[in-house]
Structure 1
Amino acid sequence: MASRITELVLDCHDPEKLAGFWCEVLGFVVLGREGDDIEIGPREGFGGLQPTLVLSRTDEPKNGKLRLHFDLNSTDRDQEAELERLLAAGARLVDIGQSGEESWHVLADPEGNEFCLLRARVS
């Protein structure tokens, strides 16, 4: 028997704002609310192949680079078109010391949480 990741929890200052951003980026919907926390995920809901994302409100500041980050791949367009879509949604390019030769882009969500846009397209 084994376990699998069903939820990822991201501490943030404004769960509402990040829920909107990540729902747009990932094509997720709001699945539930508990206090100030918001759970978002695929339309099929909790327990499917994709983990849900819980945006958990905190007043603590983000300190430094995240120890865990998301890697994203586009499902319906090339990397550059997806980069433009993510930037229009509120992401921004960030420099965490990359060389410029990488095949991916490093971005941050509206609260500065880093994530990468990889080159491959997935179905």
Structure 2
Amino acid sequence: MACRISELVLGCRDPEALARFWCEVLDFVVLDREEGGYVEIGPREGFGGPQPTIVFSHRDEPEPGKLRLHIDVNATDRDQDAELERLLQLGARPADVGQTGEESWHVLADPEGNEFCLLRTRLAPL
């Protein structure tokens, strides 16, 4: 028997704002929340499905050091350029992590500065 990722937990200053951003990015919904504590988002079918949920947990101060985990996303219903434009309109911003400009992906930051990558390949929706 093996493990499967069921939740990703991200400490942040404003769980509600990041939940709204990532719900729009991933077409997720809010599954659970504790006022001032955390917000859990995930696919409409809820926890335990093929996709992990994401929990935004309130932290007054970011953890010291660089976040060692980042999220990669792929568009499902448009090409990479159109998805990049949509993500930027939602509040993502370009991030520089030393790219050469030859990469097939875009490095972005969410509204709290957490880096994530938009990959080129379009995936079929679940």
Which bracket does the TM-score occupy, shorter chain normalised? over 0.9
Output the amino acid matched with 2:10.
Answer: L
> What is the one-letter code of the residue matched to 1:73?
N
How far apart are 1:33 and its partner, in Å? Answer: 1.0
Alpha-carbon deviation of 1:64? Answer: 4.7
1:59 paired residue number: 60
Matches within 5 A, 1:80-91: 80-91=81-92
Secondary structure at the aligned position of 1:21 is classed as helix
The normalised TM-score by structure 2 is 0.94
Q: How does 1:102-121 map to 2 (within 5 A)?
A: 102-121=103-122
Partner residue of 2:72? 71
The alignment's C-alpha RMSD in Å is 1.0
Q: Are the counterparts in 1 of residues 11 and 62 from structure 2 also a CA contact under 8 Å? A: no
Identity across matched positions, percent:
74
Give the counterpart letter for 2:5 in structure 1: I
**Whole-angstrom CA distance in 2 between matches of 1:12 and 1:70:** 15
User: How many equivalent residue pairs?
Assistant: 123
- Write the letter of the residue equivalent to 1:3: C
CA offsets, 1:15-70, max 9 Å, x none?
A: 00000000000000000013410000000000000000000000122545321100
Q: State the secondary structure of the residue aligned to 1:74.
A: coil
Q: For the residues of structure 2 that align with 1:107 and 1:34, how far apart are their CA atoms? A: 28
Matches within 5 A, 1:1-123: 1-35=1-35, 36-123=37-124
Q: Which amino acid counterpart does residue 105 of structure 1 have in structure 2? A: H
Please identify, of 42-51 and 31-40, the stretch whose mean Cα deviation from structure 2 is larger: 31-40
The letter for the 2-side match of 1:31 is: L
Q: Secondary structure at the match of 2:103?
A: coil
Structure 2 stretches lacking a partner, 5+ long? none
Aligned-pair CA distance for 1:101: 0.6
Deviation of 1:2 after TM superposition, in Å, equals: 1.1
Aligned structure 1 segments of 4 or more residues deviating by more than 4 angstroms? none
> Does the CA-based 8 Å contact 1:65-1:114 persist in structure 2?
no
TM-score, normalised by the number of residues in structure 1: 0.96
The one-letter amino acid of 2:94's match is L
State how far apart, in whole Å, the 1-side matches of 2:82 and 2:52 are.
25
